[in-house]
Structure 1
């Protein structure tokens, strides 16, 4: 599937060819994101460079710019991170600036991708087989990543880290991948999606279970329940009983597969209640207590420097607050040197009012754009809800990899939804 430059140049001369190039590079980058970061990034950068020149060509041809909310917000968000990183001095904590410099640059480039997808994709007519193959590649990615993750747990006993230095960050993006893959299966295989759909669903749940990432497990569990109920209710007559039996068998298989790790999984779920009770009783030395402490310290640091500050200054301000109010919050002390575990608090405390409002606007855009407009795209909520939900308890945009994957998925939804394949008429 890896295309030569000459082949890409030839394809870019037609509308259908442009669609094939954009779609293929998006699939390559998304699929390899969890297997080979280098290949994923190279495909993404190739896509961004093509998009930049396509953007310049569009502006030259049309003699004007069109306004779209998401590309604009992505550009502003990337600029707010990148400009902050290159204009602040961080001698003690240079890694924070380096992370935001990279993630900001990737978002700036990604804004051109999203703009071109919005502007060009209504004219694309992708081959149905290409979309089907792309969906199957995403399915294969889920199975490969699940096998690798389960193998790591069996041999090491530790939570698997999926393309990340932390099990949580990998689990967040894997959740997004699973949701977009499940949606794609229903869209491009409207008559034959059920079996692979629910097998993929169970495999995804098993991997999230062994990562023991509570927020991802909770969100995906709710999706699983809603998805199963929807399918059972909408399936006609006798087929409903057949599928109910199949779903029950798949569910039992998933539960059996997880039984070996159920103690650790349920222990982590149970600790949520315990940690909240401990924090309420004045003991902040828990994971949740650490987050509460970091959020409060970060917001206090924002009030001291509402127009932004360096990571070094914020570190001093947040530790000063912890010294006064939660001196025993060791988890907050340990993690505040990296980020505040909340993208809104993170943006306000570092990039100030401007950066914080841009971050808030981006989240609102993710939620509202799919719901309103001439053609609502409700499927994009499968990206918006997880991203916002996970960003309330962690810092997704501090991570150098997650932001560009999020943009790829948004572009994928826009391309696949707007493109009319020979199969899509069954689902529209």
Structure 2
């Protein structure tokens, strides 16, 4: 009886880890803290499962490229944070929490893929559960977005409480889901799913009023519509998609017009030497980031970087630049931020990260995959913001990739 109980306990860990995994995305959009707590529990169950299987002499593979990419980000974040804290006396959490999340993501991915290989849970059940988790995440997040839009005139933020990050995470999840639908076997609901998710997601993105997402998400949807047309050659359906997309954009016309006018005005202000705008301050930060990288190509502390930026702007009569407000957060560009702090090694890790999630995916599958779609969107959003150091985005992206990897391990989607 004791052996039976011990075996039952051992086999409980895969169920607990996987149940936690598929619960994260549907909850995170509604209540970020709840999703965060479940993410940690998922990591604890996964770590326990790895330890148990190690002592059971099960073969555990630690070389999955996607998991290693997350681990390398975590090592860079924690390594730099230790350097900045103990050699330069910087205060605050720095990137310790982001690094910890990346390492926990590595543990989760390693164990979940191990569970798949060992067939602790049925593959059919795993795949169906992953698809259901993604679908439920779309339904809960979109419903919450509509509710917020009806009860408030403010930008939609969902449970994440930051409109920009909400837009990036929501866009990544929905674009992956739409790509998954395009790759699925033909069935009578395929076009309906594509149409519904495309139109609803476009409208929700407009409600966040995040400029980069409004452009990038729309372009992705147009591309995917053309891909669907190349497969179906159904002019009536594609026309319907186009009309509904125009309606979704038309409903948000005031928002689009306002954001477009603001963008044009901010660019003109910058051209005339005024960077006291969101866009203008970004231009200044990008320039400063490149200059600090040229000065310290192998990395530096944030204090050193910011002191150099402050001195440079003072010397060039820009003491009141809005860039000085944001440099303690980040420089609003993923690659420039990494270059300015982590140096060449940080840029190389980031390049490897996107190589694994985009280039390697496209080379193996020979077509756009859900993981590649979500990763390309993340890369593009990182051109005007920094998303991979966000502790919320790290958890959501790693879970998304884990779910999609399990789905993609099956040659045929059902």
Q: Same-fold call, TM > 0.5?
A: yes
Question: Residues 340 and 394 of structure 1 are in contact (CA less than 8 Å); yes or no, is this contact kept in structure 2?
Answer: yes
The CA deviation at 1:92 is 9.6
The superposition leaves residues 287-334 of structure 1 with CA deviations (integer Å, 9 ceiling, x where unpaired) of 222112112222333344444333333322221222233606632121
- Which is worse superposed, 136-145 or 158-167? 136-145
The CA deviation at 1:110 is 1.0
- Which is worse superposed, 141-150 or 121-130? 121-130
State the alpha-carbon separation in 2 of the partners of residues 164 and 314 from structure 1. Answer: 29
**Which stretches in structure 1 are left out of the alignment for 5+ residues?**
1-5
* Residues 1:308 and 2:308 aligned together: no
State the alpha-carbon separation in 1 of the partners of residues 6 and 321 from structure 2. Answer: 53
- Within a 5 Å distance, the mapping from 1:15-414 to structure 2 comes to 18=14, 23-56=18-51, 61=57, 66-89=62-85, 94-95=91-92, 98=93, 100-122=95-117, 124=119, 126=122, 128=124, 131-132=127-128, 134-186=130-182, 190-191=186-187, 192-235=189-232, 240-244=234-238, 246-248=240-242, 250-251=244-245, 253-255=247-249, 258=251, 261-325=252-316, 327=318, 330-373=321-364, 378-414=369-405
- Which is worse superposed, 115-124 or 340-349? 115-124
Q: Which residue of 2 aligns with 1:13?
A: 11
State the alpha-carbon separation in 1 of the partners of residues 6 and 383 from structure 2. Answer: 40
State the alpha-carbon separation in 2 of the partners of residues 324 and 249 from structure 1. Answer: 54
The CA deviation at 1:226 is 1.8
Question: Residues 285 and 328 of structure 1 are in contact (CA less than 8 Å); yes or no, is this contact kept in structure 2?
Answer: no
Closer, same or farther in 2 for the Cα pair 1:57/1:335, shift >3 Å? same
- Which is worse superposed, 136-145 or 283-292? 136-145
The superposition leaves residues 40-89 of structure 1 with CA deviations (integer Å, 9 ceiling, x where unpaired) of 12222222223334444566636785533332232121022123224423
The CA deviation at 1:194 is 1.6
State the alpha-carbon separation in 1 of the partners of residues 333 and 6 from structure 2. Answer: 40
SS at match of 1:370: helix
CA RMSD of aligned residues (A): 3.4
Closer, same or farther in 2 for the Cα pair 1:32/1:11, shift >3 Å? farther
Question: Residues 142 and 201 of structure 2 are in contact (CA less than 8 Å); yes or no, is this contact kept in structure 1?
Answer: yes
- Which is worse superposed, 66-75 or 192-201? 66-75
What is the TM-score of this pair, normalised by structure 1?
0.82
- Which is worse superposed, 219-228 or 240-249? 240-249
SS at match of 1:284: coil
**Which stretches in structure 2 are left out of the alignment for 5+ residues?**
none
State the alpha-carbon separation in 1 of the partners of residues 413 and 153 from structure 2. Answer: 47
The superposition leaves residues 400-419 of structure 1 with CA deviations (integer Å, 9 ceiling, x where unpaired) of 21112111111111111103
- Which is worse superposed, 338-347 or 153-162? 153-162
Closer, same or farther in 2 for the Cα pair 1:7/1:34, shift >3 Å? farther
The superposition leaves residues 181-206 of structure 1 with CA deviations (integer Å, 9 ceiling, x where unpaired) of 22344556741222122112111111
Question: Residues 122 and 418 of structure 1 are in contact (CA less than 8 Å); yes or no, is this contact kept in structure 2?
Answer: no
What is the TM-score of this pair, normalised by structure 2?
0.84
Closer, same or farther in 2 for the Cα pair 1:94/1:150, shift >3 Å? farther
The CA deviation at 1:94 is 3.8
The CA deviation at 1:117 is 4.3
The CA deviation at 1:105 is 0.2
Q: Which residue of 2 aligns with 1:3?
A: none
- Which is worse superposed, 57-66 or 268-277? 57-66
